[in-house]
A and B are shown apart, each in its own frame.
Chain A
Amino acid sequence: MSGLVTLLGLAVAGAVGSVVRHATLARVGQPGTAPRAWAVAAVNLVGAVIVAAVALLQPPETIALVLTLGLAGSLTTFSTWVVDAVLAADAGRSLVRIGLIDLAGQLVVGTAIVFTVVQLA
């Protein structure tokens, strides 16, 4: 029973996360523009904050799974992040910005958010 609840929760959270991400990215321009890069960073870093909050608050396992694997997992995206980096390079965005801010910067900030909270918890 709890397995079924977890599956349903994962599916619903996955749908919600994807729709919020899609709605956020649909409002900004094409890959290669600064607003698009910031929008991808926003959904990815909000997802990192959700994972950090779960690590800090330690809710029951099912809720933790639905929030981290389901909601944060689907709200954030790796595929759009790296495909955008390639498309942004094609569109003429500076390689230094792509490498240092869009890619490395975003992962360092996301990791730092979770790292800080894991150290506190």
Chain B
Amino acid sequence: MAFGGAAGALLRGAVVSGATLAGAAGAVLGVLAANLIGAAALGWLLGRSRTDARVARWTAFLGSGVLGAFTTFSTLADQVARAAASGEVAVAVLLAVGSVSGGVVAAAAGLHLGSRDGDPAGDGRVDRTLQDPAPQDPAPEGSP
């Protein structure tokens, strides 16, 4: 958990520093990208972990640790507040509404895909092939 949090924070630091080189708008877009990617990834992880025990074992490290720390609420609030304080109210509203609605859509899409990946039959049953891949059938004798 702690290592995951450190990794997530450093990864976010790298993304934000890189994006900031492209100017103030770059920093905003960098945080937005980190948040939306993190929301979709966490959704997928939790969806998949419902049926895949291998993935479920990693949710504390990857979910609470890496992705929880990779995404951020405080920087978003800071960016919205500073945009509003500098008179760019339209930018502040767009960033707030876009982040929240985009985040919910990304999370729902990730959950949907993760649940589907782990349960292709859609019947809520665990797909055994995910945990114990069946060996390939041997080629019939005489085949080239």
- Measured CB to CB, the residues of A under 8 A from B are 7, 10-19, 21-22, 25, 44, 47-48, 50-51, 55, 68-70, 72-83, 85-87, 103-104, 106-107, 110-115, 118-119
A118 touches B64 (CB 8 A): no
Chain A neighbourhood of B70, CB < 8 A: 79
Beyond contacts A50-B74, A69-B13: 19 other A-B pairs, Cβ-Cβ < 8 A, are A15-B6, A18-B65, A21-B68, A48-B78, A69-B12, A72-B72, A72-B75, A74-B68, A74-B72, A76-B73, A79-B71, A83-B42, A85-B104, A86-B111, A106-B73, A107-B100, A110-B77, A111-B81, A111-B96
Shortest beta-carbon distance, A77 to chain B, in Å? 4
User: Nearest Cβ in chain B — how far from A108, in angstroms?
Assistant: 8
Cα separation A79 to B65 with both chains bound (whole Å) = 11
* Chain A min CB distance to B125 (Å): 19
CA–CA, A110 and B82, complex, Å = 12
Bound complex: CA A61 to CA B63 (Å) = 30
Query: Closest 10 CB pairs between A and B?
Result: A14-B9, A18-B5, A110-B77, A82-B103, A114-B81, A47-B74, A76-B73, A78-B71, A74-B69, A115-B81
**Contact residues in A for B99 (Cβ distance below 8 Å):** 78, 107
Whole-angstrom distance from the CB of A115 to the nearest CB of chain B?
A: 4
Chain B residue contacts of A22, Cβ below 8 A:
1, 5, 60, 64-65, 68
Question: Shortest beta-carbon distance, B29 to chain A, in Å?
Answer: 14
Candidates B9, B43, B71; contact of A11 at CB < 8 Å:
B9
Q: Which of A14, A18, A82, A115 contacts B85 (CB 8 A)?
A: A115
Q: Does residue B19 face the partner (Cβ distance < 8 Å to A)?
A: no
Give Cα A92 to B85, complex, Å.
37
**12 A-B residue pairs with CB within 8 Å:** A10-B13, A11-B10, A12-B6, A15-B2, A22-B65, A48-B74, A73-B75, A74-B5, A80-B64, A82-B106, A83-B107, A107-B99
How long is the Cα–Cα vector from A19 to B74 in the complex, in angstroms?
A: 17
Given A14-B6, A83-B42, is A78 in contact with B72 using a C-beta cutoff of 8 Å?
yes
